[in-house]
Amino acid sequence: MNLHEYQGKELFARYGMPVLPGQVAGTPEEARDVAASLGGTVVIKAQVQAGGRGKAGGVKLAENPTEAFEQARQILALTIKGLPVRKVLVAQAAEITRELYLAIVLDRGRKLPLIMLSAEGGVDIEEVARTAPGKIVRRHIPLSGLRPYQARALFQPILRDGSQVAQAADILMKLWRAYSEGDCQLAEINPLAITPEGKVLALDAKVILDDNADFRHREWASWRDPAEETAGDRLARERGLSYVKLEGDIGCIVNGAGLAMATMDLVKYY
């Protein structure tokens, strides 16, 4: 299950990660009121479960409540990658001197969580992985868990400043707790930002939860957004089926995920 950014930030805040204050809004009027309560410059961010929001015009700055109203009005009229924008996050803006990428994801091949860290934050990490894979540091987390000294060692070559290394390592340790205790498949911060004052902040949140663990988390029922699901996804979830949308119009019903994918490969290529 994919979470919206504002939901991911709520999860991060529970574990003590430094996220800037903000509130979700469903209308331009609500966005204006949130901006007035926060004061100063705010960022208006489309809440759709798709990448490339900024390039699509779904992320805007507003210096006052009036601007927040207008920017929210424009963003709420957008459709990004086929998804209509129904909500925006109005959050306090931050001045940034540097952006990093930090994530913990499940490495299915090694059957271990994998830390991904890059100094190339705030951009499409898939493009970085394709064009400059050496700029991404990858470290598996052993079954015994992540230790603070290991977290510090990851950031030392990138940040060097002792205070920033300590802050970033603390965020990574809390991200690991959120990932493991929250039954996540992905917990991503992009960007992990450095301010001119030397503070390290989690400015964005992308979280994917493992549906197989929903019986352990009652709050997930309220986090799910049916409006972001296709009719096929919704029907499959209601019937308790594993459903993967592929190209074409041939359906495949088999027993076992591996056999299912092998059968689809045979249908497509042979």
d(CA 42, CA 88): 12
Tell me the β-bridge partners of 113. 106
Q: Are 170 and 73 in contact (CB under 8 A)?
A: no
Task: Extract the runs of DSSP E, i.e. beta strands, from the chain.
Answer: 22-25, 42-46, 59-62, 79-80, 83-84, 88-92, 98-107, 112-118, 136-140, 184-194, 200-202, 206-209
Task: At 161, list the tokens.
Answer: 């400043």
**φ/ψ of residue 245, rounded to 5:** -80, 125
d(CA 7, CA 219): 11
| Number of neighbours of residue 16 by Cβ within 10 angstroms | 13
70 part of the active site? no
Tell me the β-bridge partners of 22. 91
101 part of the active site? yes
Please give, one letter per residue, the 3-state secondary structure of 114-175. Answer: EEEEECCCCCCHHHHHHHCHHHEEEEECCCCCCCHHHHHHHHHHHHCCHHHHHHHHHHHHHH
d(CA 57, CA 74): 9
Active site residue: 67, 99, 188, 228, which one? 188
Active site residue: 101, 120, 179, 228, which one? 101
List, by residue number, the catalytic residues.
Answer: 101, 188
